[in-house]
Amino acid sequence: MFTSPWIAALSALFLWWFSTGAILLVVRYADGRSAYAPLAATLWGLGLLALGIVGFWTSLTSVDPSGMYIAFLSALAIWGWIELAFLTGIITGPNTRACPDNIPEWQRFIRAWGTIAYHEILLLMAFLAMMWAAYGVENQFGLWTFGVLFVARISAKLNLYLGVRKINTEFLPSPLNHLPSHFRIARLNWLFPISVTGLTFAVACWLERLYVSETPADMIGFALLAAITFMALIEHWLMVLPLPDEKLWRWMLPKPNKDNMTTQRTAP
């Protein structure tokens, strides 16, 4: 059953939804409970990081369908822990203050970069380490999975900085309450068409590779990549479409502390 590319694609969609919800759940529970709760949650999550690293390393020489799933899951595990460390406020950046109004654009960019600098550097270091480990090996689907997430994240953050119609800040915890001040509400920006065109092209490339694949393992791998890239594309479109995507996870999360709640803003 799991050798079907359709099952692989549906599995990727479920894992994207479930892993996002799981991270938000941990962050929501840790937020506001105690000063040490975010750090404790991040440290407990190191087990997930360890599993991801071991799984990624193991998958490099595995060219059967199970190796594709292990590579994909391992990349998600590594990515998930880094995102957990960011959302708990443990690994973010040197700037933890709101952005003042009416400052020069270059200063706004530096301040915005300062809010996420350490996290982005960690992501880059992880990506480079995975590139080194995967150089010349048979199974590079874990690396490609992480690469898709990495590129899509950079694109999303730049679009938030330049301005999009809808910014959902509902799930941001209190340590990151300063982040929305560095975003910009706008109907559209010059980067958005480039971003969605690039992601659409990437989805088409993965589907073309899936179509010409000759082995079940390659079919699984490219189906997983096509699905996760498609979700990155959808996430970009949700920045400009007035759809209640937050409902995908809101029902499974405990109610936030009212003092820590942020609001969702939409351009008129």
In whole angstroms, what is the distance from residue 199 CA to residue 232 CA? Answer: 8
Residue whose C-alpha is closest to residue 92's, from 56, 118, 128, 54: 118
Half-sphere exposure of 74 (CA within 13 A, CB side): 26
Residues in the chain: 268
| Residue 227 CB neighbour total at 10 angstroms | 24
17 Cβ contact partners less than 8 Å away, ≥ 6 residues apart: 248, 249
Chain Cα centroid distance, residue 261: 22
Place of tokens 């822990």: 81
Q: Of 65, 67, 80, 81, which Cα lies nearest the Cα of 134?
A: 67
The per-residue pLDDT for 1 is 56
**What is the Cα–Cα distance from 189 to 187, expressed in whole angstroms?**
7
Q: What is the pLDDT along the chain (268 residues), one digit of tens a residue?
A: 577 999 999 999 999 999 999 999 999 999 978 889 999 999 999 999 999 999 999 999 999 999 999 999 999 999 999 999 999 999 999 999 999 999 999 999 999 999 999 999 999 999 999 999 999 999 999 999 999 999 999 999 999 999 999 988 888 999 999 999 999 999 989 999 999 999 999 999 999 999 999 999 999 999 999 999 999 999 999 999 988 888 888 877 777 655 444 444 445 4
The pLDDT score that the predictor gives to residue 202 is: 98
Rounded CA separation 89/173 (Å): 8
What is residue 242's predicted lDDT score, i.e. its pLDDT? 84
